[in-house]
Amino acid sequence: MNAHRKQLTALARPVYLSLLASVASGIINTVWVSRLGGPAVAAVAVATNTENVLLGVALVFASGTTVLVAHARGARDPAAVRAAVRGGWALCGLVAPVVAVGGLLLREPLAGLVLGGHDPAARSLATAYFAISLPGMAVFFAQQLVDGILKGTGDTRTPMRLALLANGLILLCDPILIHLHGVRGAAVSTVLCRSVALAAGLRALRRNALLRTAALVPPAEPAGAALRRTLTTGLPMSADFTVRQGGALVLVAIVARLGVTAVAAYAIAYKVMYVATMAFYSVRQAVAIHTAHTRGAGVDARRDIGRQAVLLSGALGLAACAVFAATAPWITAAFGAGPEVAHQGVLFLRCVGPYLLLMSCFIALGGVFEGSGGAPALLRITLLGTAVQLPLAHAFGGLGLPGVCLALALAMAVQCAAVAVPLRRAVRREEAEAPPARSGRVRS
């Protein structure tokens, strides 16, 4: 196996398992809350969606710190490692209290905004959930930063273990605390279990060899400069995530024009697709880390990492296409969908293959941009893809869900074509800057 592909696989596997653990615990959480009735399910659902939005905020310092620590590791610069960690904590310390205190004070209007005035019971429950979950976002933010620091050092296994610990504890505590305290119990369970994982993560930071070495030297720059560097590095990655989330929400509204059956089928199919798309994003994280670690290795190494990323993620995309096409009827049946919903769901899963395959390649290449400091260019391409995707989905909506799949595939094809332009520019720039003798050199 190619050395780069072997390293990417080793980095990506733990990331994927940690993502799967989070999804599984969310599903189980919903199952337990569903015993409390529809308003409780609605309250927890909107609270979870709010947390997904706030994850975009966390990515500013978590992903920014990952890339900066990885760059410093690749340059073998302990002072830069310490500065990157310091900048991440400074930015997190600035943002987390604002979200925690502001969320607590604004919990009632926020619940009214996301739920409207149609169901007072659900709004009251959402307010109660927010009263615990939004202050608890400080724990979530710190946990995301700890994971980002560890990933930057090349350690993706410890974040996986921390995710398994947190979500395993949630699975144990949820039924007890939800039974005792209802919706509030679900929020308490999540915050407490994340706090345990955070404590374990802080201990892991102290035991990390690279971070222990970095702690012995002065930081390469003041805290304020490190904070600004983290912000400028992480903001494009956060914006990319937010644009994709926003585009997905608008797409749901477009699908809603096709009727309730189409929306239900689309919702089921999209949840199933997470199993594949999380694999693509785990490869992307691995590619970003490995690219940053080998930043000084030369343009040939960068090209090989990109090729291996596309091969690895493309193979995963092709496998997902085949599995979804073959097992779509059993998948929809497992969700208990009625005949019409099942039919539409099967149709979507069998038509979405080209989009998934193109997406797998594009997402993987995104890691090369993130790891080499090209995240702003990637954000522009994501904006372009979203701007193309939504009008096409609206135009092809008359074809039903297959028309939506066609719009998704065409928009992703545009993004894949667009990514070649900044990629070629980056290659030419590195060829001009990197000494030929260092080409192909790999640090990992």
pLDDT > 70 in the chain, percent: 86
pTM confidence score = 0.79
More confident residue, 204 or 119: 204
What is the per-residue pLDDT for 429?
Answer: 62
pLDDT in tens, 380-404: 888 999 899 889 988 988 888 889 8
From 302, 294, 297, select the one nearest 437 (Cα to Cα).
297
Side-chain-side CA neighbours of 222 within 13 Å: the count stands at 2
- pLDDT at residue 441 is higher than 80: no
246 pLDDT tier (thresholds 50, 70, 90) = confident
Other C-beta atoms within 10 Å of 211: how many?
A: 21
409 pLDDT tier (thresholds 50, 70, 90) = very high
d(CA 301, CA 55): 32
pLDDT in tens, 267-283: 778 778 888 888 898 89
d(CA 20, CA 271): 12
- pLDDT at residue 83 is higher than 90: yes
Q: Where are the domains of the chain?
A: 1-234, 257-444
